[in-house]
Amino acid sequence: MIVVKTKEEIELMRESALIVSKTLGVLAKAIQPGVTTLELDKIAEEHIRDHGAVPGFLGLYDFPNTLCMSPNSQVVHGIPNNEPLKEGDIISIDCGALKNGFYGDHAYTFAVGEIDAETEKLLQVTKESLYVGIREFKKNNRVGDVGFAIQKYCEDHGYGVVRELVGHGLGKEMHEDPEMPNYGKRGKGKKFIEGMVVAIEPMINMGTQRIKQHRDGWTITTLDNKPSAHFEHDVALVDGKPELLSTFAYIYEALGIESNEEEEFRQKALVL
Ligand code: MG
Ligand code: MG
């Protein structure tokens, strides 16, 4: 069952999403060779609690930490540990926050120092595919339209689109209906309705789409051990159009990156 949100609830969800956005911005400054994912996890937990929110993943389905930290060939759901990040790594950070009864949930894949051009391209294309997908989240479209757009964009670049893990509705629960696969057929699946909020999150592999699950019960890795990227935004359907609730602007501010990629999805100006 899809739970639509009122305008007031969407504003509360924006608040939760922006706490995650700010947290990712703080992490962006802290990511460097030598830092451990557990150190970053502590920074994130403190930052979320300082904003009157609760880490959204900690304890959810018994997940042990605040962040899902998935370096290199890990796709998602990696558990923070004491291993230092190295120059040339990539690290996907997925973060959730719960405030006023609503979840925020979004993710970014960071480069650690300088990365090779092939991996840089994977990050670029995966992020672009997120916006290609968000553009299809509009009145009268269906779940399959978003999935089709993301799949086509990534497969046209020769990448593997993970099938077993999908985006989702978001609200008072971290995972609500509908499931939002990153693959699909045009015109198929549930129809989008005003007031829906979804997390769209392409998980894209440089090589094979196939994945394996580790014995820890969480970590997912590409079957061929090639890199995987993951970007996620929270989006509401407002006046028939996609309205971004989360933002990468705090990350870009921290890293000194100029970008207007989110502008078309924002009906009111973002105040940082
Ligand atoms: Mg997430
Ligand atoms: Mg999600």
Q: What is the pLDDT of residues 117-131, one digit of tens each?
A: 999 999 999 999 999
DSSP for 117-178, please give it: HHHHHHHHHHHHHHHHHHHT-STT-BHHHHHHHHHHHHHHTTPEEPSS--EEE-SSSSSEEE
Contact 73, 222 (CB under 8 A): yes
Mean pLDDT along residues 251-255: 98
Q: What percent of the chain has pLDDT over 90?
A: 98
Centre of ligand 1 from the C-alpha of residue 261, in Å: 20
Centre of ligand 1 from the C-alpha of residue 234, in Å: 9
Residue 268 has pLDDT above 90, yes or no: no
Mean pLDDT along residues 44-62: 97
Q: What is the pLDDT of residues 174-229, one digit of tens each?
A: 999 999 999 999 999 999 999 999 999 999 999 999 999 999 999 999 999 999 99
Position of tokens 């994130």? 44
Centre of ligand 1 from the C-alpha of residue 200, in Å: 9
**Ligand index nearest the alpha carbon of residue 57:** 1
Centre of ligand 1 from the C-alpha of residue 197, in Å: 14
**Ligand index nearest the alpha carbon of residue 94:** 1
**Ligand index nearest the alpha carbon of residue 231:** 1
What is the pTM for the complete model shown? 0.97
CATH class (in words) of the domain with range 7-265: alpha beta
Please report, for residues 113, 156, 187, the alpha-carbon distance to residue 201 in angstroms, rounded to integers and kept in the order given: 24, 18, 20
DSSP for 197-262, please give it: EEEE--EEESS-S-EEE-TTSS-EEETT---EEE-BEEEEEETTEEEE-S-SHHHHHHHT----TT
Q: What is the pLDDT of residues 79-92, one digit of tens each?
A: 999 999 999 999 99
Contact 190, 218 (CB under 8 A): no
Centre of ligand 1 from the C-alpha of residue 198, in Å: 11
Tell me whether residue 46 is exposed, middle or buried, using C-beta atoms within 10 angstroms of its C-beta: 0 to 12, 13 to 18, 19 or more: middle
Centre of ligand 1 from the C-alpha of residue 252, in Å: 19
Beta pairing partners, 108: 93
> Token digits for 113?
């120092």
Domain spans, the chain: 7-265
Centre of ligand 2 from the C-alpha of residue 220, in Å: 15
Centre of ligand 2 from the C-alpha of residue 17, in Å: 11
CB under 8 Å to 73, separation ≥6 — which residues? 221, 222, 225, 226, 227, 228
Beta-sheet pairing, 220-222 with 74-76: antiparallel
> Token digits for 258?
């100029």
Mean pLDDT along residues 50-59: 98
Position of tokens 């995972």? 175
**Ligand index nearest the alpha carbon of residue 230:** 1
Centre of ligand 1 from the C-alpha of residue 208, in Å: 22
**CB atoms < 10 A from the CB of 50, how many?**
11
Centre of ligand 1 from the C-alpha of residue 246, in Å: 12
**What's the mean per-residue pLDDT of the chain?**
97
Mean pLDDT along residues 161-184: 98
